[in-house]
């Protein structure tokens, strides 16, 4: 898509929600108001009605709607996911409740507004009688553009009845154990269907506003990627990463015990578990659906009293107190890829108590030169002769895209230069875009085929902890970031190479990086994605 073809940004409703829930709202048509008018004989709609069903569906699909749970601030990206969350997290089956009281669409609207306004607990709501919320006062929405109010509950109830009839015919006479096994399997299938549906819809949502204007914390496709098992297995299997966080928390228990900790981007909750073990009270936040597994993990380890879990964007959440520590594993390839540092700095500025600390609280970025002709020949020289044909045009594409790999220590041919030193307690998001000079001292004769980027991480505490992702250290899942030269550069021992590097965010892909490296008067451009 060219710059001239960019899609216009959606206008957000600046008015905040009117109760304890927090979310982001967008302008919606007046279908809800037409329902109110049928019940109250009065309509305050300030928009037009859409009688044509296809027209309504097209408008509905063009808007990003976030669904807020009835009982907590968790935000879901579909009503179905929200209903599933209320069952898993609060034990409230909304569909069964609607069927119990034979609620029609208007009755369901009253119920939703009643719960949002009066804030009963799920247990209290289950015990109440219908006439408690069967009042026209509850036709007035509590949240602007509440997605639950737009949900066709009657259609879903009819579908549920059909499923129930099929179920009775198929499983009549089954034992309790057999029925439970069937239910568990159906829940697994439903969860996979939900994830697939969300994956298909999120691409449209991400592009609903001008991509160049989108902030990293709005990139829903990124959060969805963290719902997969394999990425968490990879991170937890990284002993350098995980044991460093464990040491920072458990070797400094005298600082952590009795304090409030915010675990930002908690994933499976391992950092929350370390923090709770150190004696802290923890609030864990994640936008990804992996949070539901984290809830089960916390319960399995009997740490519910110490750890509270919230699903949603940090920027959309409010907390009752500030935190003494904010712990987060936000680092990406070449440190800054992914852009999650923005959310960490937002949390620091809005939710860290005076005198509080980020963990980690310092990171440095480095670059050095490597001589690895074997890999260079496989990836770059390969295109000079592909089964007897020249494909040299492919070299440019291969070279400009930075890759990640583990560089052998024996291939290092220069000293390392620090290109950035971030005091995370002080920096601003703009500081992560920079240009700096560097010098590399050549240690032996050879050919530089690759410039290698990596980062080091520091927990400056009474018992300090540090780890490196460089080629001289134990490999991590971050590996190193490799910038291949168009042609190998011959060097001699004692030679000093002068250069500069510029790091910027890509305008169109907010989590990727544009990197420019100038060496010997030649500027080379790379992308980290």
Q: Could you count the other beta carbons within 10 Å of the beta carbon of residue 105?
A: 17
Query: So what's the pLDDT on residue 188?
Result: 55
User: 210 or 364, which is more confident?
Assistant: 364
Q: Is the pLDDT of residue 84 over 60?
A: yes
pLDDT in tens, 495-513: 999 999 999 988 767 678 9
Query: So what's the pLDDT on residue 398?
Result: 86
| Mean pLDDT in residue range 49-74 | 59
Q: Is the pLDDT of residue 479 over 60?
A: yes
Q: Using an 8 Å Cβ cutoff, are 468 and 394 in contact?
A: no
Q: Which of 370, 367, 366 is closest to 489 using CA atoms?
A: 370
Query: So what's the pLDDT on residue 152?
Result: 82
Query: So what's the pLDDT on residue 339?
Result: 72
d(CA 281, CA 64): 34
Percent of the chain with pLDDT over 70: 73
Query: So what's the pLDDT on residue 413?
Result: 97
pLDDT in tens, 285-313: 998 888 899 999 999 999 999 999 999 88
What is the band of 453 on the pLDDT scale with cuts at 50, 70, 90?
very high
Please state which of the ranges 135-144, 150-159, 455-464 shows the lowest mean pLDDT. 150-159
What is the band of 177 on the pLDDT scale with cuts at 50, 70, 90?
low
Query: So what's the pLDDT on residue 158?
Result: 61
User: 409 or 24, which is more confident?
Assistant: 409
Q: Is the pLDDT of residue 236 over 90?
A: no
Please state which of the ranges 186-200, 208-222, 325-339, 428-442 shows the lowest mean pLDDT. 208-222
User: 142 or 57, which is more confident?
Assistant: 142
Q: Mean pLDDT, the chain, as a whole number? A: 79
Q: Is the pLDDT of residue 212 over 50?
A: no
Q: Using an 8 Å Cβ cutoff, are 153 and 105 in contact?
A: yes
Question: Which two three-digit tokens encode residue 388?
Answer: 């007897």
pLDDT in tens, 353-395: 999 999 999 999 999 999 999 999 999 999 999 999 999 888 8
Active-site amino acid positions: 329, 338
Query: So what's the pLDDT on residue 73?
Result: 82
**Residues 421, 422, 428, CA angle at the centre, nearest 5°?**
140
Q: Is the pLDDT of residue 455 over 90?
A: yes
What is the band of 227 on the pLDDT scale with cuts at 50, 70, 90?
very low
Q: Is the pLDDT of residue 193 over 90?
A: no
What is the band of 159 on the pLDDT scale with cuts at 50, 70, 90?
low
d(CA 57, CA 8): 20
Q: Using an 8 Å Cβ cutoff, are 152 and 105 in contact?
A: yes
Please state which of the ranges 42-46, 165-169, 185-189, 288-292 shows the lowest mean pLDDT. 42-46
What is the arrangement of strands in the sheet containing 496-505, beginning at the earlier edge strand?
Answer: 434-441, 496-505, 513-519, 522-528
Percent of the chain with pLDDT over 90: 49
Query: So what's the pLDDT on residue 20?
Result: 38
Q: Are strands 434-441 and 496-505 parallel, antiparallel or unpaired?
A: antiparallel
What is the band of 209 on the pLDDT scale with cuts at 50, 70, 90?
very low
Whose tokens are 């892909």? That residue is: 509
3-class SS of residue 526 = strand
Please give the domain boundaries of the chain with CATH numbers for all domains.
Answer: 12-28+63-162 (no CATH), 223-359 (3.40.50.150), 362-528 (2.70.160.11)
Query: So what's the pLDDT on residue 88?
Result: 79
Query: So what's the pLDDT on residue 27?
Result: 34
């Amino acid at each position: 898509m060219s710059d001239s073809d960019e899609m216009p940004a959606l206008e957000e409703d600046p008015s905040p929600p009117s109760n304890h829930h927090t979310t982001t709202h967008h302008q919606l048509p007046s279908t809800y108001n037409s329902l109110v008018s049928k019940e109250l004989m009065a309509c305050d709609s300030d928009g037009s009605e859409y009688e044509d069903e296809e027209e309504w569906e097209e408008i509905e699909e063009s808007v990003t709607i976030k669904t807020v749970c009835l009982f907590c601030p968790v935000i879901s990206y579909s009503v179905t996911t929200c209903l599933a969350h209320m069952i898993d997290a609060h034990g409230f089956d909304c569909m069964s409740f609607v069927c119990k009281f034979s609620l029609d669409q208007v009755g369901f609207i009253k119920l939703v507004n009643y719960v949002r306004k009066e804030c009963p607990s799920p247990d209290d709501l289950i015990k109440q009688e219908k006439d408690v919320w069967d009042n026209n006062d509850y036709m007035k929405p509590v949240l602007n553009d509440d997605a639950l109010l737009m949900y066709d509950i009657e259609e879903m109830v009819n579908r549920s009845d059909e499923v129930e009839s099929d179920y009775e015919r198929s499983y009549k006479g089954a034992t309790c154990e057999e029925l439970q096994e069937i239910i568990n399997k159906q829940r697994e299938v439903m969860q996979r269907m939900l994830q697939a549906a969300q994956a298909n819809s999120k691409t449209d949502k991400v592009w609903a506003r001008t991509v160049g204007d989108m902030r990293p914390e709005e990139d829903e496709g990124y959060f969805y990627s963290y719902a997969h098992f394999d990425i968490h297995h990879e991170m937890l299997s990284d002993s350098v990463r995980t044991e460093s966080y464990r040491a920072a928390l458990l070797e400094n228990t005298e600082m952590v015990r009795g304090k409030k900790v915010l675990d930002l981007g908690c994933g499976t909750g391992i950092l929350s578990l370390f923090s709770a073990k150190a004696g802290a009270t923890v609030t864990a936040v994640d936008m990804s659906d992996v949070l539901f597994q984290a809830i089960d993990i916390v319960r399995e380890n009997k740490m519910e009293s110490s750890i509270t879990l919230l699903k949603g964007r940090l920027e959309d959440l409010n907390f009752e107190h500030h935190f003494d520590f904010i712990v987060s594993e936000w680092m990406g390839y070449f440190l800054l890829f992914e852009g999650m540092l923005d959310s960490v700095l937002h949390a620091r500025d809005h939710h860290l108590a005076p005198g509080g600390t980020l963990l980690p609280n310092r990171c440095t970025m480095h670059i050095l030169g490597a001589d690895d002709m074997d890999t260079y020949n496989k990836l770059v020289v390969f295109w000079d002769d592909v089964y007897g044909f020249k494909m040299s045009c492919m070299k440019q594409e291969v070279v400009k895209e930075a890759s990640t790999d583990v560089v052998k220590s024996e291939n290092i041919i220069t000293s390392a230069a620090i290109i950035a030193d971030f005091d995370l307690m002080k920096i601003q998001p703009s500081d992560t875009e920079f240009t700096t000079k560097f010098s590399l001292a050549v240690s032996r004769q050879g050919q530089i085929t690759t410039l290698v980027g990596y980062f080091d991480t520091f927990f400056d505490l009474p018992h300090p902890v540090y780890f490196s992702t460089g080629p001289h250290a134990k490999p991590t899942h971050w590996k190193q970031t490799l910038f291949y030269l168009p042609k190998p550069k011959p060097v001699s021992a004692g030679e000093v190479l002068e250069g500069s590097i510029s790091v910027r965010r890509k305008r169109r892909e907010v989590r990727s990086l544009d990197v420019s490296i100038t060496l010997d008067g030649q500027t080379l451009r790379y992308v980290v994605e």
